[in-house]
Structure 1
Amino acid sequence: MTTQTDLLLVEHSAASIPEEPQLGSLPASEAPSLTYSDSSDEPEVEDPPQPVPRRRRASTRLIAQSPLDVQRITGETTTQLIKRCCGGGCCLGLGPKRDGVESEPIELPDNDAYRSLLLKIDQIPITLTGVCELPEQTVFLQPMRRPSTVPSPTGASPLPNPDSTSSLLGQVESKLHSLTLEDLDTRIQPPSFVQPHPPHHVFAARIVNSRELTRPGAEKRTFHFDLDVTNYPDGEGTDFKVGGAIGVMAPNEASMVEEVLDLLLVPRFLRDKPVLLRTTKGRWPTVWGDDMARELVTTRRDLLTWCSDIQSYPPTKQLLRVLGEHATDENERKILLYLCSAEGQGVFCDFRTGPHVSLVQLLHAFPSAKPPLDMLLSVLQPLMPRFYSLSNDPHESYLNRDGKQHRLIEIAVTVHETADWRTGKRQGVGSGFLQRQALRFLEAKERGEKDPELYVPMFKGLMQNPLAKQFKSDGPMLLIGAGVGIAPFRGFVQRRLKTANCANKVWVLQGIRDSHVDELYSGEWGAHEGEVKRVVESRRQGRYVQEEVRAQADLVWYVINAVDGRVFVCGSSKGMGEGVENALVEVAMRKGNLQREEAEEFWRLKKEAGQYIAETW
């Protein structure tokens, strides 16, 4: 059914939409090509006077999407928050202090970790209200015991039936077998119960090659990996796709795990000893398993290494409440309970939105707080996989070695860093792990090792990159990206340039800072790289990829209006993503003679039709 919006778009843009080139009727050279242009030659498009609503950046962490999220973070229901809030901003320190509230000075912990928290506390009310309740313990660690399912013989009892005794012994052996550690090297991959999506299990892919794509002077380091997936388990029903993604189950850094165990005073002889883990509900320690009670055998080190995130999330009131409950120093206890109270709500809000805080930092800041490990595991966030786009055509990448053909997939990873109270900079869980693996590989090669045995625990999973879902074997494509967002486009171009007459059907606009230090995959796109790719340098040229989108307006308009034409955008939403989206709207306004609202609707409809695909973060 044709809508009024559709008719409006056709009316305004029909005269300016380029005709679809018929195969065999037009020479390839008549398709629009990348043109050279200066920013001074670009006509300026003035925005209409009405303000445009600002979209939430995808890079902003959305911490609360439901009342349950609010209660998990603050320890109070939304009803309790509404009843307590007077609307005067007093809880945020914006209004006068309430009369009748008696406070006392507090001696603050004297250590660098506490000072780095930047808590604005000088006095604490003597009586605290609305302190969140101690969270329910859902995780229990118990010593291993031999199950006693065979009844002990007594003098008055008749001799047992040999058949029934054999059956009982079989049950005992089966139970004992299930209550033992599995034969799996958890130094290179997580325990098998860490399962993304049944029947998908985590596979330890060996690193065949690794190299740094950026050069000294680059603002961020980016590494490339060739991973051997020859022996990836069959039977999952999915395969690697061009432009697709893999999930990486990155562990917490070993030294950080060791430090947490040290701070909690967990004896060293217990850290790798088998322990019975019992949970009462939830998905943990799996990734996306069923919500159910579990009983399995593991170790304390494996749980902290593979199952709980100890550095990515801001502290919740539940975590602070657990620390406060087990703090033996009275002043530390008062501070932690204050952060969990109604009176400390403003300080708590500033605390969560301030400098990033890890579990190690909290344990150093409040050294007397040493909760049991199983109670701490009950309130920590689960360690989730990180997803990385494939940067090659996985159907065409093979390596002949040892007389065998090995199938390879390739990924590129940019290292994400945040401020750290002790070391200055701390890497993210996923990118930090992959950087350590890359550096270990390169160091081993320098020492003369031929085939270093280093692995990346990964899985295909069911969460495919949206870029792969819309990839078509024919039709023109315009690929727009910046930074590591350009990586999945490399596989698209490799696939396209192997097909005859496709050099005029794929174009790449790549935004970088400086081609001397951070142009990724230069010279690795295929024989026609110079014809299909345009590099825009912000630091050397003072131009951004969104400016090149405006300069290539004819090409953009041709691709998006061609049969099976597609425009792909990939990269950070901060700056690049929003800038490119605005540039595309301006192209539609200029080439389609549309008003801004009509141009935005045009791209929205193209997105619904699968012709405009944006994957930003």
Structure 2
Amino acid sequence: MVVLNAFEDIVAELQEIDKLSLPGFKQSPLKVCYNSDNSTETSYDGLGPPLPFATSKIFDADIYMWKQLTASNGDCKAVYEITLDVEDSKFTFKAGDTIGIIPQNDDSDIDFIVSHLNLASTVDLPVSITVDSSTKGNKLPIHIPAKSTLRHVLKYCVELRSLLKKAFLLSLSKYTEDDKERKILEYLCSKEGAAAYSTHVLNKSLCILDIFSIFKTCKPPIEVLLGNLPRLLPRPYSIVNSGLKNNHVMKICFSVMTNNNRKGLTTGWLERLLLNEEITLENGLKNMSISKESLNKQKVSMYLRKNFSMFCLPESLEKPLILIGPGTGVSPFIGFLEERELLKESNQDVKFGDVYLYFGCRNPKLDFIYEEELKDFLAKGTLTKLFTAFSRVDSENKYIQDVLTESGKEVVQLIKEGAHVYISGDLHTMAVEVKEILVNCLVEHGDMTSEEAMAKISHMQKHYQYVVDAWS
């Protein structure tokens, strides 16, 4: 991709602008010094970056087993379930809890940065990273170690795929040799180029890897990257199973997303861990499992996270449950149902409330994940009703929003009985639309005005009767 092709509209606009209004430029206060000793150990000034929402220390879990939940050759994203061996972790977890996985940048991305910035001869040498303290307020970013190697920092400490802020773009422009490339970078971070910044950077999720691919002469010192790239944060994942049933293993489920022709950072890495074992899945085999003995003890660094949202079963066993989770959003509800089943066995004198579950995917033959488990819960009576919607199949109900609307009268009756509503899935579309539909159902079948229905949902949210576990 050349600059003229990627930013043809900007080149035309620049010809009509005499002067750009640029943000203030601040020189990077960081300095990288190469040490004469051979110690490549990583250390921080202070304790180093904290683990967000942690309730445990990091545990390196072996991959015990894995399986692909979707068809191998179908028109759908690959979805995997990984079973982690946590027997020695002493973790205590319940349905609805989450873990944080410690990610790492892809080696190919690191190699590209190293090659572009001509760091091959120094990337593995021990370095000290300091900050110019002569200017008030300058300090070493908490995620940047004081001593390490550049390879370690690029792999584990900084987010190479983060969106580029305007101040970062301005810094990059200062180290861009080609005049046309430099002017485009300046325009993107200028007041006049605000719309172009949204169009080309925000909307296209451009990261430093894209900038170096497009702007060939942009070659800043490594200090500029370390001073501007944010921390590579742990990625949260819902736990699929209930630790009350078995706390020696922990299951997570994930789909492999693609953005700008790159697979998701953590999901792509996890997929590579599985598929690089030189084990070929038979085409179309949906539930093939690979055992612990087959895997060469691949490890996943992870920790338990606080359940701030109270995404867990209510204490009252008599309350009905409405579980809404399309795609991989259904995965935490498998743990809910496992836990519910155990509680039923130990509380046989209690009349349990009904459980309605809403699931949606493209095609039941391709990506109906956990189909067997859900139908088993249904047969046992742990799950009262299972509602499904398939967007790529000839049907009136394409999405779970359609099924919710159709069963609105039953949903409203459950809410009147004190039901707890749980929504798991995409924050920006599904979760918002589901809330609107539930409000409409309360208006149509619950004898409420729109204001009363919205107040009802708000009351449920306040008292953790309406809980959302959503991601963007």
Decide which of 381, 397, 401 is 2:246's aligned counterpart.
397
Counterpart in 1 of 2:128? 276
Counterpart in 2 of 1:468? 311
1:250 counterpart = 2:94: no
RMSD: 3.1
SS at match of 1:466: coil
**Distance in 1, Cα, partners of 2:4 & 2:106:** 22
Counterpart in 2 of 1:415? 256
1:329-368 pair list within 5 angstroms: 329-368=178-217
Counterpart in 2 of 1:154? none
Counterpart in 2 of 1:588? 442
User: 1:263: Cα distance to partner?
Assistant: 0.3
Identity of aligned residues (%): 24
**Distance in 1, Cα, partners of 2:356 & 2:197:** 49
User: 1:371: Cα distance to partner?
Assistant: 1.0
**Distance in 2, Cα, partners of 1:550 & 1:592:** 13
User: 1:394: Cα distance to partner?
Assistant: 2.0
More deviation, 112-121/246-255: 112-121
Pair 553,339 (structure 1): closer, same or farther in 2 beyond 3 Å:
closer
Decide which of 25, 28, 39 is 1:134's aligned counterpart.
25
**Distance in 2, Cα, partners of 1:356 & 1:295:** 27
User: 1:393: Cα distance to partner?
Assistant: 0.5
More deviation, 217-226/351-360: 351-360
Aligned AA (1:605): H
Asked if structure 1 preserves the Cα contact closer than 8 Å seen for 2:130 and 2:140, the reply is no
Counterpart in 1 of 2:266? 430
**Distance in 2, Cα, partners of 1:561 & 1:199:** 36
Counterpart in 2 of 1:214? 70
Pair 344,608 (structure 1): closer, same or farther in 2 beyond 3 Å:
closer
**Distance in 2, Cα, partners of 1:346 & 1:508:** 43
Decide which of 568, 571, 595 is 2:422's aligned counterpart.
568
Asked if structure 2 preserves the Cα contact closer than 8 Å seen for 1:277 and 1:297, the reply is yes
Counterpart in 1 of 2:287? none
Per-residue CA deviation, residues 41-76 of structure 1 (Å, 9 max, x unaligned), is xxxxxxxxxxxxxxxxxxxxxxxxxxxxxxxxxxxx
1:497-516 pair list within 5 angstroms: 497-498=341-342, 499-500=344-345, 505-516=354-365
User: 1:372: Cα distance to partner?
Assistant: 0.9
SS at match of 1:511: strand
SS at match of 1:579: helix
SS at match of 2:444: helix
Per-residue CA deviation, residues 88-147 of structure 1 (Å, 9 max, x unaligned), is xxxxxxxxxxxxxxxxxxxxxxx546633555213447853432233342432212257x
Pair 338,306 (structure 1): closer, same or farther in 2 beyond 3 Å:
same
More deviation, 338-347/354-363: 338-347
Decide which of 317, 323, 328 is 1:484's aligned counterpart.
328
User: 1:321: Cα distance to partner?
Assistant: 1.8
Counterpart in 1 of 2:153? 303
Pair 509,503 (structure 1): closer, same or farther in 2 beyond 3 Å:
farther
**Distance in 1, Cα, partners of 2:249 & 2:111:** 34
Asked if structure 1 preserves the Cα contact closer than 8 Å seen for 2:388 and 2:403, the reply is no
Aligned AA (1:578): V
Asked if structure 2 preserves the Cα contact closer than 8 Å seen for 1:390 and 1:410, the reply is yes
Aligned AA (1:299): T
Pair 556,209 (structure 1): closer, same or farther in 2 beyond 3 Å:
same
More deviation, 220-229/346-355: 346-355
Pair 253,473 (structure 1): closer, same or farther in 2 beyond 3 Å:
farther
1:450 counterpart = 2:317: no
**Distance in 2, Cα, partners of 1:295 & 1:252:** 17
**Distance in 2, Cα, partners of 1:439 & 1:376:** 32
**Distance in 1, Cα, partners of 2:208 & 2:257:** 19
Aligned AA (1:468): F
Aligned AA (2:433): G
SS at match of 1:120: helix
Equivalent pairs, count = 440
**Distance in 2, Cα, partners of 1:349 & 1:554:** 43
The structure with the larger Rg is 1
Pair 340,600 (structure 1): closer, same or farther in 2 beyond 3 Å:
closer
1:53-68 pair list within 5 angstroms: none
**Distance in 1, Cα, partners of 2:299 & 2:403:** 40
Asked if structure 2 preserves the Cα contact closer than 8 Å seen for 1:128 and 1:342, the reply is no
Asked if structure 1 preserves the Cα contact closer than 8 Å seen for 2:92 and 2:243, the reply is no
User: 1:395: Cα distance to partner?
Assistant: 2.7
Asked if structure 2 preserves the Cα contact closer than 8 Å seen for 1:278 and 1:295, the reply is no
**Distance in 1, Cα, partners of 2:42 & 2:330:** 40
User: 1:282: Cα distance to partner?
Assistant: 5.7
Asked if structure 1 preserves the Cα contact closer than 8 Å seen for 2:160 and 2:229, the reply is yes
Pair 515,442 (structure 1): closer, same or farther in 2 beyond 3 Å:
farther
Decide which of 115, 123, 131 is 2:5's aligned counterpart.
115
1:351-390 pair list within 5 angstroms: 351-390=200-239
1:228 counterpart = 2:85: yes
More deviation, 489-498/321-330: 321-330
* Structure 2 residues without counterparts, runs of 5 or longer: 283-289
User: 1:196: Cα distance to partner?
Assistant: 1.0
**Distance in 2, Cα, partners of 1:545 & 1:505:** 19
Aligned AA (1:547): D
Per-residue CA deviation, residues 515-565 of structure 1 (Å, 9 max, x unaligned), is 1111111112474324522322232224121232233334423432335x3
**Distance in 1, Cα, partners of 2:238 & 2:31:** 37
SS at match of 1:121: helix
Asked if structure 2 preserves the Cα contact closer than 8 Å seen for 1:327 and 1:369, the reply is yes
1:180-195 pair list within 5 angstroms: 181=41, 193-195=48-50
**Distance in 2, Cα, partners of 1:345 & 1:535:** 44
Pair 557,337 (structure 1): closer, same or farther in 2 beyond 3 Å:
closer
More deviation, 322-331/485-494: 322-331
Asked if structure 2 preserves the Cα contact closer than 8 Å seen for 1:568 and 1:614, the reply is yes
Asked if structure 2 preserves the Cα contact closer than 8 Å seen for 1:113 and 1:362, the reply is no
Pair 265,483 (structure 1): closer, same or farther in 2 beyond 3 Å:
same
Asked if structure 2 preserves the Cα contact closer than 8 Å seen for 1:113 and 1:361, the reply is no
**Distance in 2, Cα, partners of 1:339 & 1:612:** 42
**Distance in 2, Cα, partners of 1:389 & 1:131:** 43
**Distance in 2, Cα, partners of 1:351 & 1:295:** 32
User: 1:373: Cα distance to partner?
Assistant: 0.7
More deviation, 468-477/598-607: 468-477
**Distance in 2, Cα, partners of 1:273 & 1:572:** 43
SS at match of 1:516: coil
SS at match of 1:137: coil
Pair 612,431 (structure 1): closer, same or farther in 2 beyond 3 Å:
same
Q: TM-score, normalised by structure 2?
A: 0.83
Pair 343,482 (structure 1): closer, same or farther in 2 beyond 3 Å:
closer
**Distance in 1, Cα, partners of 2:173 & 2:235:** 32
